Amino acid sequence: MKNLTLRNITEVCGGTYHGPEGCLDTEVTEITTDSRKVSEGCLFVAIKGEKVDGHRFIPGSFADGALAALAEVAPAETDKAVILVPSTLQAIKDIAEFYLAQLPADLVGIIGSVGKTSTKEMVAAVLAQKYRTLKTEGNFNNEVGVPLTAFRMREEDEIGVLEMGINHFGEMHRLAKITRPDTVVFTNVGTAHLEFLGSRDGILKAKSEVFDFMDEKGHVIVNGDDDKLSTISEVHGVAPVRFGIGEQGYSHPNDVWADGIVSHGLEGISCVIHTEAGSFEVMIPSSGRHMIYNALAGTAVGLVYGLTLEQIRSGIESYMPLSGRFHIIKGDSYTVIDDCYNANPGSMKASISILKEALGRRVAILGDMGELGEKEKAYHEEVGAYAAEQGIDLICCVGALSEAMAKAAVDYMETHPEAHCLVRHYPTVEALMDDCGEILEKNDTILVKASHAMGFGRIVSGLCG
C-alpha cells in the first residue's frame, strides 16, 4: 500500500511505535479490522465494539501473518510491531485520509437520503466501461466503512466510487475530510434520519457538509426534481449538473433528463435519456421509476468523465442489484423481491409501486422503519394506506410500529369500498414465518421490506429455501 510504512502510519495517527526497528520502513500489504481477514504483512486494527473487543484477536493476527497491530491497549508480551493510539477509530480515519492523498484516482462521492447504494452501483457500472473502478462494497458508508473502502484502493485504480452515509451533524464533514471527493452525486433529500437531523432542511444542511472538503474544481451532480436540491444554485462558484425526469426541474432546467418511460414489470424499465451530447434509448434491468434517476445520475457522471453515449448505455444495461436491494429471486413456489436491507417511507412506497405491476397475486411483507423521529407513527400509517390504495392483495405488517401501518390499511379500505386487500399484523418475524404456510399461495410475488434491524433476511431465506 503506497507509502503506508509503519513509520508513516505511526506519524499520521499520532501513535507510539513498539517493536523491531527494522520493520519501521516496511509497507503494510492490507489494513483490516476483521481478524478473519488477516493476511501476510497486513496491519490488524483492534477496535472495541459493543459486543466484541478486537484487542482479543491481536495474538491470533500475529500468528496468521500480520506485520503489526494498531491498538489502544498494549497486548501481552510480544516481539511483534504494535502502534498504540488513544483511539483506533480515529486512527483509521487519519490513515485513510493520508493514504487516499497518495493515490492518483479521482473519487466520486455518493450521498443522499434514499438510493445511495443503487446509485453507487449504477455509477460504478457506467464508469467501469472505460476506467478501472473500485466501489464501496455493500453499504460500507460510515466512519468505519469509508476508511475500509479506502484501504482497498490501489495505485492502478483510476476512479473510486464511495458511498457516504450519515445520521448526525458533523459526520459528513468528517467523511469529506477523509475522501476529499472530486465529484459528488446528491440523490435526494428524504425523511431518513429525521430522529437526529430534525427536518428535511436539517438533512440538506448535514449532507451538504460534503462540500467543505470537496475539490473546488470538481463537479456536483444533483437530482433537479428534488425540491430541496433545486435550491443549490452553485458550489464553489460552479453551477451543479442537474438530472431529472422531464426537461424542466422545479426551478432550473435539467441538464440530463428522461422521457419515453415504459415499465416492463419486474423485468425492468426503459426510457430515452437526453443530454447535450445527444440522446439514447436504454433498458434498465431493474424495476421502478427510481431506477430512472439512478440511470440519469450514471449518465451525468459518465459525461463528466468523458464516456461516449454508447459506453454509458452499456454501463446502465450491465447494472446488477445487490442482495437486499430489490433483488428478484424466482423460485419454484414464489417470486421474492428481496428489498430488506433498509426502509423509509419513500423507498417503501416506491417498492410497493413496483410490486403493483407484478402479474398474479401480490403480497407485501412490510416491517418497522427506524430513525423517523416523532412522526414515526404517521409515516407508518402513510405507508399502510398507500399499500391498500395500490391494491396489494395481501399486506403483512411485522413489528410494533407496523401495527399502525396495518390499521391504516384497514382504515383506508373502510373509506374506499373499491379497495380489496387482506391485512395481517404480526408482532415478530417468527410469528409471521409460522403463518406463511397458511397465508401464502403458489406463484405469489412477495415483496419483503423493512429497516435492517428487523432482520427480514430470515424471511427471504425461509421463502427461498
Q: Rounded to an integer, what distance in angstroms lies between the CA atom of residue 378 and that of residue 393? A: 23
Phi, psi angle pair for 222, to nearest 5°: -130, 155
- Distance (Å, rounded) from C-alpha 310 to C-alpha 304? 15
- List strands edge to edge, sheet with 422-426: 327-330, 335-338, 445-449, 362-367, 394-398, 422-426
Residues 6+ apart with CB under 8 A from 418: none
> Is 116 one of the annotated binding-site residues?
yes
The residues facing 17 across adjacent strands are 83
Residue 385, all three cell numbers: 394506506
Q: Is 461 annotated as a binding residue?
A: no
Position 306, amino acid: G
Q: How many CB atoms lie within 10 A of CB 35?
A: 17
Does 146 show up as a binding residue in the annotation? no
Residues 6+ apart with CB under 8 A from 261: 245, 269, 270, 271, 289, 292
Tell me how far the alpha carbon of residue 34 is from its chain's centroid. 21
Q: Where would I find the beta strands (DSSP E) of 167-277?
A: 183-186, 219-223, 241-245, 256-263, 269-275
| Residue 149 assigned as binding residue | no
Q: Is 115 annotated as a binding residue?
A: yes
The three cell numbers locating residue 186: 446528491
Q: What is the CA radius of gyration of the chain?
A: 24
Report d(CA 460, CA 438) in Å as an integer: 17
Q: Sheet of 68-71: strands edge to edge?
A: 16-18, 81-84, 68-71, 43-45, 31-32
202 is in an annotated binding site: no
User: Is residue 370 annotated as involved in ligand binding?
Assistant: no
Which among 288, 327, 267 has a CA at the least distance from the CA of 463?
Answer: 327
User: Is residue 13 a contact partner of residue 45, using CB atoms and an 8 Å limit?
Assistant: no
Q: Which residues pair with 336 in a beta bridge?
A: 329, 446
**Grid cell in block for residue 114:** 434514499
* Binding annotation: 112-118
* Binding annotation for ATP: 112-118
